[in-house]
Chains A and B, each alone.
Chain A
Amino acid sequence: GENVEQHPSTLSVQEGDSAVIKCTYSDSASNYFPWYKQELGKRPQLIIDIRSNVGEKKDQRIAVTLNKTAKHFSLHITETQPEDSAVYFCAAETGRRALTFGSGTRLQVQP
């Protein structure tokens, strides 16, 4: 089955700096890659996603890049703010809407 690895497990940045989180996946059949933000005690919330026919997608301060050949995708957050502090999860889907998640990255934005 699919295996998704996520790095780093924790990330601390100064407010205004950029943050990058990286994921790799194992199944070349995966074709959908969402990123979720989860605050303490809350449900995961989709922040951005990308499909396998697209190399990059941007939404304001958030961007995701996908390299199908290398089987890795990354989340980029620019101009970080304290409210960006949360746990971020990457995921991959091979179809049938069943997601395989990475282990998460705890992002701390220092004011």
Chain B
Amino acid sequence: NAGVTQTPKFQVLKTGQSMTLQCAQDMNHEYMSWYRQDPGMGLRLIHYSVGAGITDQGEVPNGYNVSRSTTEDFPLRLLSAAPSQTSVYFCASSGQGRETQYFGPGTRLLVL
């Protein structure tokens, strides 16, 4: 079991560029979420999904899109990167039986 994996580990973008942060889990979890963590702060929910084909907005969804075409994958798309999106992005998943969320290793994003 690889658990929750995220790619890339680190990315530098220029303002206005777009990119997709990848998240995958091999635990057959129904629930997946994206959080961002700014320096010295807690995690804030961007988008989440309760199953394939179902997504919903979290606390800070603006500038991000998600889709959930399979149970395993939950990519996060930055449409037009802005310096305010410089952050560490964590993906998490949890299964039907327990609320415990398992976090991926994170993607560190720098937008210049």
Instruction: List A residues at the B interface (Cβ < 8 Å).
Output: 1, 6, 32, 34, 42-46, 49, 51, 89, 93, 96-104
Contact = CB atoms under 8 A, between A and B. Distances in A.
A100 B45 contact: yes
B59 A1 contact: yes
Contact of A44 (B43, B50, B94): B43
A89 B43 contact: yes
Interface of B: 31, 33, 35, 40-45, 48, 50, 56, 58-59, 90, 92, 94, 99-101, 103-106
B45 A98 contact: yes
A100 B58 CA distance: 9
Nearest to A104: B42
B50 A97 contact: yes
